[in-house]
Structure 1
Amino acid sequence: MDAVLQFSPFVLSGLRITVALSLLSLLVAVTLGLLGAWAKLSSSRAARRIAEFYTTLVRGVPDLVLMLLLYFGGQMALNRIGAVTGLWRHWELNAFTAGILAIGFIFGSYMTETFRGAALAIPRGQIEAGIAGGMSRSVLFRRIIWPQLVRYALPSFTNIWLTLMKTTALVSVIGLEDLVYNGYAAGKATQMPFTFMFVVLMTYLVLTAISDVGLRWLDRRYSAHLRKA
């Protein structure tokens, strides 16, 4: 117990990295998901093919492989472009940024299918009624499309978010000192690996419980009109 208390600040510093990495990766994933869903539902054949290639690529390649490719291959590609164009000499992609981009890229493909399915579930008649009523595109999106998009996407979104948060543990492979990395290092230093991995396990369970409370609140908010009806 004394060892756990002694190393708790070190382990908690990794928790801050994990939470920040999860939230920023989620932001990237939601952005790519909305763009991907728009592309798949668009009338542009090229946009649909690009989005289909994106989701197929992510489904077919392991998450760790994509992360390593972006971390090492991304740096090489950027430095090669800089050398050819002369815009920059050397650009280094740090582990935190690489983790955000890799995890966001991976889960953006899952968000694409989530938002696409949610958009298709919205009754077409409601959108047509809004257009007939003289709603502008922004008002139509804000008042009709977005509330229902969130409600229909939320069950799948919940599973994706919880999986994304656990996937952040992969960044320890590229040297980022997240919760898992610091927990493992503390266990190795004290020769108590099981104890510190159990601490990491309980910490992830707490994060999951907090996320569950927040997502349930969102579900109640966007389903309130259904209960009233």
Structure 2
Amino acid sequence: METLQMLGFGQSGWGSTLLSAIAMTLVLTLVSLLVGALLGSLVAAAKLSRRLGLRWLGNGYLVLVRGIPELLVIYLFYFGGATLASALGHWFGKTGYVDLPPFWVGALAVGLLSGSYQAEVYRGAFLAIPRGQLEAALAIGMSPFTRFRRVLLPQVLSYSLPGLGNVWQMTLKDSSLISVIGLVELMRASLMAAGSTRQYFTFYIIGGIGYLLLTGLSGRVFNLAEARVSRTQQRTPIRY
């Protein structure tokens, strides 16, 4: 009975906090994935470029981001960013310490990490497209934008879907690291509930179950999307 009360939605229960934290985890993961998609697309384009400088820049991004611990990246963005913002504020006459919003800083930091893996997913998807299709589109006079919209983008998204499923799962679990900067997502809510009630085992298990549910359901969604895309590719030829 005591456990049910702690998990309830009353004044002394943590049910509402945990549900809100699950929603925050999903939103944070989604925003981070979108930030990573933008960065990953740019890095993939740089690595596929014929210009040596751009390829070096793309490789440098991957080496730097993957070589630094994820937690250190979050600390650099949040605490280092706040220090930089405070220094800029003092330059313009503002006194005191400038706090940065944990959600957006966390989404940017996790998105930076996610982008380093999405870049390789997009690059591999591009290389999987048959060269003959690109040559045919060029031969019939397609404009660059039309080639991108009708040939490149649909197939890159199709080939990258399995890899993006893995990146989503990784980003979902990396979102737990944002708890160190005070954002109340699932990990932070579990820590708060465990510390307040001294029921560490109970709430850590509940937090773990929450992550398992999120990863299991999202994995199912990606599997369904892959199956649908596979059927579409088999039935619908590419029209130029």
Percent identity between the two aligned chains: 38
- Match status 1:144 vs 2:151: yes
* Structure with the largest fraction of helix: 1
Q: What is aligned with 2:135? A: 128
Q: What is aligned with 1:191? A: 198
Q: What is aligned with 1:180? A: 187
Using CA pairs below 8 Å that are at least 6 residues apart, which structure has the higher relative contact order? Answer: 1
Out of 137, 156, 167, the residue aligned to residue 163 of structure 2 is: 156
Q: What is aligned with 1:4? A: 7
Q: For residues 5-35 of structure 1, what are the alpha-carbon distances to aligned partners after superposition, in whole Å with 9 as ceiling and x for unaligned?
A: 2210111121122111111101100110001
Q: For residues 152-187 of structure 1, what are the alpha-carbon distances to aligned partners after superposition, in whole Å with 9 as ceiling and x for unaligned?
A: 212221111101101111011111111111112112
Q: Out of 113-122 and 133-142, give the one that drifted further.
A: 133-142
State the Cα RMSD in Å.
Answer: 2.0
Task: Figure out how many residues of one structure are paired with residues of the other and give that number.
Answer: 228
- Structure 1 residue 138: Cα displacement: 2.3
Q: What is aligned with 2:116? A: 109
Q: What is aligned with 2:99? A: 92
- Match status 1:170 vs 2:177: yes
Q: What are the ranges of 5 or more consecutive residues in structure 1 without an aligned counterpart?
A: none
Q: What is aligned with 1:46? A: 53
Structure 1 stretches of 4+ moved >6 Å: 87-90
Q: Out of 213-222 and 8-17, give the one that drifted further.
A: 213-222
Measured at CA, do residues 129 and 55 of structure 1 come closer, stay the same or move farther in structure 2, by a change above 3 Å?
same
- Match status 1:212 vs 2:219: yes
TM-score (norm 1): 0.91
- Structure 1 residue 128: Cα displacement: 0.9
In 2, the alpha carbon distance for the partners of 1:46 and 1:123 equals 27
Measured at CA, do residues 140 and 101 of structure 1 come closer, stay the same or move farther in structure 2, by a change above 3 Å?
same
In 1, the alpha carbon distance for the partners of 2:44 and 2:94 equals 34
Measured at CA, do residues 142 and 217 of structure 1 come closer, stay the same or move farther in structure 2, by a change above 3 Å?
farther
- Match status 1:118 vs 2:148: no
TM-score (norm 2): 0.87
Out of 62, 72, 97, the residue aligned to residue 79 of structure 2 is: 72
Q: What is aligned with 1:17? A: 24
- Structure 1 residue 131: Cα displacement: 1.3
Q: What is aligned with 2:41? A: 34
In 2, the alpha carbon distance for the partners of 1:131 and 1:82 equals 52
Out of 54, 63, 87, the residue aligned to residue 56 of structure 1 is: 63
Q: What are the ranges of 5 or more consecutive residues in structure 2 without an aligned counterpart?
A: none
